[in-house]
Amino acid sequence: MSEPQAETDWTALLGQVRDTQDRAAFALLFRHFAPRIKGFLMKSGASAALAEECAQDVMATVWQKAHLFDPARASVATWVFTIARNRRIDALRKSRRPEPEDLPWGPEAEPDQQDALEMAQETARLGAALAQLPEKQRALIERAYFGDLSHSEIAQETGLPLGTIKSRIRLALDRLRHHMS
Amino acid sequence: MTMNHHISEPMLMAYAAGTLPEAFNLVLATHLSLCDDCRAQLAACEAVGGALLQDAGSVAMDAGSFEACLARLARPTPAPRLAAKGLFPAPLRDYVGGDLSAVQWKPLGMGVRQAILTTDKLATARLLYIPAGHGVPDHGHRGIELTLVLQGAFSDSTSRFGPGDLEIANEDLDHTPVAEAGMDCICLAATDAPLRFSGLIPRLAQPFLRI
Residue-wise pLDDT tens digits, B11-57: 898 899 998 889 999 999 999 999 999 999 999 999 999 999 988 78
User: Which contiguous run of DSSP H or E holds residue B117?
Assistant: strand B112-117
* CA–CA–CA angle B142, B146, B149 (5° rounding): 145
| Residue in B17, B54, B83 nearest the CB of A144 | B17
B-interface mutation test, from A47, A80, A101, most B Cβ less than 10 A away:
A101
* A75 and A15 housed in the same domain: yes
Residue A109 lies in a domain: no
Range of the domain at B159: 1-210
* A41 and A123 housed in the same domain: yes
Spell out where A10-168 has E strands. Answer: none
- Whether the CB of B33 is below 8 Å from some CB of chain A: the reply is yes
CA B147 to chain A, closest CA, distance in angstroms equals 16
* A91 and A172 housed in the same domain: no
Cβ within 8 Å, pair B72-A88:
no
| Residue in B10, B33, B49 nearest the CB of A81 | B49
* A127 and A151 housed in the same domain: no
CA A50 to chain B, closest CA, distance in angstroms equals 12
Alpha-carbon gap, residue A129 to A154, rounded angstroms: 18
Alpha-carbon gap, residue B84 to A64, rounded angstroms: 23
pLDDT of residue A152: 59
Check which CATH number belongs to the domain holding B80 and give it: 2.60.120.10
Chain B positions in Cβ-Cβ contact with residue A104 (cut-off 8 Å): 82-83
b/e map of B116-131 (b: 16 or more CB within 10 Å)?
ebebbeebbbbbbbbe
Give me the residues of chain A with pLDDT under 70, please. 1-8, 104-111, 147-157, 180-181
pLDDT of residue B141: 64
Residue of A nearest to B89 (CA): A101
* A54 and A121 housed in the same domain: yes
- Whether the CB of B147 is below 8 Å from some CB of chain A: the reply is no
Query: Can you give the length of chain A in residues?
Result: 181
pLDDT of residue A36: 97
ipTM here: 0.90
Whole-model pTM: value is 0.89
| Residue in A80, A141, A154 nearest the CB of B53 | A80
| Residue in B68, B83, B120 nearest the CB of A56 | B68
* A13 and A92 housed in the same domain: yes
* A27 and A78 housed in the same domain: yes
Cβ within 8 Å, pair A169-B57:
no
pLDDT of residue B209: 46
* A126 and A138 housed in the same domain: no
Cβ within 8 Å, pair A42-B68:
no
Task: Answer whether residue B208 shows pLDDT above 70.
Answer: no
Give the pLDDT confidence of B144-189 residue by residue, as tens digits. Answer: 889 999 999 999 888 999 999 999 988 777 677 899 999 999 999 9
Q: Which of A144-153, B4-13, B129-138 has the highest mean pLDDT?
A: B4-13
Alpha-carbon gap, residue A48 to A119, rounded angstroms: 33
Residue of A nearest to B82 (CA): A102
pLDDT of residue B121: 84
Specify the number of domains making up chain B: 1
Residue A103 lies in a domain: no
- Per the prediction, chain B carries an average pLDDT of 86
Find how far residue B33's CA is from the centre of its chain.
Answer: 11
Range of the domain at A158: 134-180
* A25 and A76 housed in the same domain: yes
Check which CATH number belongs to the domain holding A89 and give it: 1.10.1740.10
pLDDT of residue A139: 85
| Residue in A77, A96, A102 nearest the CB of B82 | A102
* CA–CA–CA angle A157, A160, A164 (5° rounding): 120
Chain A positions in Cβ-Cβ contact with residue B66 (cut-off 8 Å): 27, 30-31, 34
Specify the number of domains making up chain A: 2
CA A175 to chain B, closest CA, distance in angstroms equals 12
* Contact map slice: B 49-88 vs A, CB within 8 A: 49-62, 65-66, 68-70, 72-73, 75, 77-78, 80-84
What does DSSP say about strands B185-191 and B106-109: parallel, antiparallel, or unpaired? unpaired
Residue A33 lies in a domain: yes
Give the pLDDT confidence of B48-87 residue by residue, as tens digits. Answer: 999 999 887 899 999 999 999 999 988 777 777 777 789 9
* A92 and A19 housed in the same domain: yes
Residue of A nearest to B27 (CA): A98
Torsion angle defined by CA atoms of residues B86, B77, B22 and B104, in that order, rounded to the nearest 10 degrees: 40
* A127 and A162 housed in the same domain: no
Alpha-carbon gap, residue A25 to B69, rounded angstroms: 14
- Whether the CB of B129 is below 8 Å from some CB of chain A: the reply is no
User: Binning pLDDT at 50, 70 and 90, where does residue B205 land?
Assistant: very low
